[in-house]
Amino acid sequence: MTRSPKLSRLAPERSLKRLELQVTRRLDGLLHGEHLGLLPGPGSDLAEARLYQAGEDDVRHMDWAVTARTTVPHVRDLIADHELETWALVDLSPSMDFGTARMTKRDLAVAALASVGFLTARLGDRLGAYVMHGGQTRRWPARTGRSAMYALLQALLDSPHGTGGPGPRLADGITGLARGQVKRGLRVVISDFLDGHATASGELPWQRPLRRLAVRNQVIAVEIVDPRELDLPDIGPVMMSDPETGETREVILSGRVRAAYAAAAAAQRARIREAIRGSGASHLVLRTDRDWISDVARFALQQRRVAGRPQPRGGRP
């Protein structure tokens, strides 16, 4: 498959090989619980329903409920007993189009998904995604192999910026992920988590859904940050626009305004950090002005030290 220059820049083959060769050997069982390799033959867990292929599919795998509903023959694939699934929720809302450093937050979110995808592909597991973009949430079925992963990454990179207006909230996306995938596994939520204000009880809107998701799954919350969201430059008057609402206003970046902004931004990030950790999810912060591969590796090694020992063989806890 031909990869665009943008994808090559975002996830260079040389860097990804370095990640796999130098890091992933020490990450076995960390992000994706160690398990036995894929076994030949059919499994027992139901997977995606798809169109029946005459002469190729076993009629014993016919999904009669879907067939009756669509009036078109469908079969239900089976997942091998040792094949696991990772599902990611990727936030590509308008606020993720912002970026002032090496890449936009959107590009970094795709890079985060790429790092998870290469780890799962190395183990032969399936990767699926829910993508919040263009005012709706799109579901990508879980697939194995690098070609499927590159197709997903390329589609995200090629998706238009700043379209669709207000879409589903992050809380709705997390809830949809939890309801749509009931089998236990690894769940990765990739977002800037700048979605809504705290309620009267002090909770952020997405905090409770994230906590419920973490009850049955291993959850990694990947927070995407741009340095200009933490501190403003000393450039005087400037026009600022809210990417979510389109509202624009002039702001004079005086020393007092910049100090107040930095304090508010620090408090906001501390609240997000507290909410993520309080939900039981692991917290990975990626910045647009840093090397994302190094940050992923550092996070994984830190998680292993905290765990104290590798995950038991045979699946996730």
Residue whose tokens read 């809107």: 205
Q: What confidence score (pLDDT) does residue 43 get?
A: 45
Q: Which amino acid is residue 291, in one-letter code?
A: D
For 20, the token pair is 């796999």
For the domain made up of 5-36+82-307, give the CATH fold.
Answer: Rossmann fold (3.40.50)
List the domain boundaries for the chain: 5-36+82-307, 45-79
pTM score: 0.72
Residue whose tokens read 């509202």: 247
Quick: pLDDT tens for 208-234. 999 999 998 989 999 999 998 888 888
Residue 87: what are its φ and ψ, rounded to 5°?
-120, 135
Most confident of 39-43, 204-208, 242-246: 204-208
Find out whether 192 and 223 touch, Cβ atoms under 8 Å: yes
Asked whether the predicted pLDDT for residue 165 surpasses 70, the reply is no
Q: Maximum CA pair distance of the chain?
A: 73
Q: What confidence score (pLDDT) does residue 235 get?
A: 80
Find out whether 90 and 129 touch, Cβ atoms under 8 Å: yes
CA dist 241 and 201 (Å) reads 30
Q: What confidence score (pLDDT) does residue 316 get?
A: 41
- Quickly list H helices, the chain: 5-10, 13-19, 25-27, 64-70, 105-123, 146-158, 170-180, 207-216, 255-278, 292-307
User: Which value, in Å, is the radius of gyration of the alpha carbons in the chain?
Assistant: 21
- Encode 46-92 in three state secondary structure: EEEEEECCCCCCCHHHECHHHHHHHCCCEEEEEECCCCCEEEEEEEC
Quick: pLDDT tens for 60-80. 778 888 889 889 898 876 655
